Every structure is written in structure tokens, then in C-alpha cells.
Amino acid sequence: MSFELDCTPMGSMHVDSHEEGPIATNTYLVASGDEAIVIDPAWKGEDIARRIATDHPELRIRAIVCTHCHGDHVGGVAGMRRELGDEVPFVISAIDAPYIEGAVTHMKRNWGLNIEMPPEPDRLLREGDTVEFGSVRLQVIETPGHTRGGIVLFAATQDGNIAFVGDTLFPGSHGRTDLDGGDDAAIMASLGKLGRLLPVDTLVCAGHGPVTTIARELETNPFMQLALKNE
């Protein structure tokens, strides 16, 4: 079944980004009005929640959303839940959810990272689902390759188009595929999918490193170019 994005601008959004943890994961606070979500809380979730409460006391956190199951993206979920309360749902893709424990255990054992296991997810996402808060709506795009169930969260807003891509797409490159659940062919297909679906002016917020745009990646990313050429 084909999937189409709704690119009708809706609402307004503000994004704050902080690098968290020993692998410098980008954790995003995404706010609309007095509501917000946190994407990929990587590390020391209590500290993340307290910083938000101090810097943005007007915000109510509606959800904690993770783009994939790796420990450097879910490691702060448990701490945030302790600080915010169990009523704030932990949200992740339905495909990646069964692999959270294995992914976290792998990073703890093989990378020597003290990552806390997150609680059971409260909501499981599939392609076409939405995450809504304030006046905006994030649309879910399934992008396997870095993991089995990685997702991208896209929003068309009155401030412009934006996508939170996890570790699927990096400036000029893509996420690694040599960990459990990684797949070279799948990530190339996902890059092609993003190149086709996302408007060229979309601001791309990756799981690590600087922001980019789809226009820039179409022009400079050899992997996205090859993926589109081979479709």
C-alpha cells in the first residue's frame, strides 16, 4: 500500500536540541503552545526533565517518543518517567519495541555504557500514525535499515517543514548498518523513500550531528542519490 504525507501546513512549533550522553545523541524538545514532546532522551532522564521544567515551566510534556530502540536513544526514558510520572507515555515503533531489551543490553555489555532499561512502551507506532500535541501533528514514516523499525517523524507547520530522522539519515551519509537489525538494502530503500516523500525544504534533525535539509542531501548525499537512481 502506498503512503502519502499530508503536507498541509498546520500550527506552529518550536524546537530545542541538546546533545546528551557519551555518544552525543541529539535529544529534542518539540513544543507547540503549552504542550511538548521529547524525542530520543538519551541519558540521565531526570536531568532532562528538570532542565525542561526550569527553562520552560509553561510546558506540559505529552509524550516521550523514540525514533528507534538503541540504548543511546532510549536511555533517558526511565528517568524522565520517574520525574514526570507514568501518565506521560513512552512511544516507539511497533517493529522496534520487541528489540529494546536486546539493544540496550548490547550497548551495556559491549560499549561499557551504563544505560538504564526503559519501561514497557505505552503506545506502538506504525507508518501513517500521528503524534499530536498543541496545534501540530507529527506523521510517522517507517524507515528500516539502521534498525528493523526505525521511524521518521515529519511535520508540516506554518513555520516550515521539519523531520526528526533518528539515525536513518545524516548529512552526506546514513546510519550504520552493522548492528543487530541493520540492513544495507533496507537503509538505501529508506533513503530513497525520504528523498521522494519529504518536501525539498524540509529541515532534517538527525540523531547525531548538525541539521541539514532534504535539498542539501539531494544535492550532496551520494547514498541518497544512488538510492533514488536505483529505484
Q: Which helix (H) or strand (E) holds 220?
A: helix 214-220
Please report which confidence band the pLDDT of residue 1 belongs to, taking 50, 70 and 90 as the band edges: very low
Amino acid (one-letter) located at 120: E
pTM: 0.97
Name the percent of the chain lying above pLDDT 90: 94
Residue 16 clears pLDDT 50, i.e. is over it: yes
SS3 44: coil
55-to-51, 75, 230 alpha-carbon distances in Å: 6, 22, 47
| Structural domains of the chain, ranges and CATH numbers in brackets | 14-229 (3.60.15.10)
The C-alpha cell 552526506 sits at 172
Element (H, E) at 71: helix 71-74
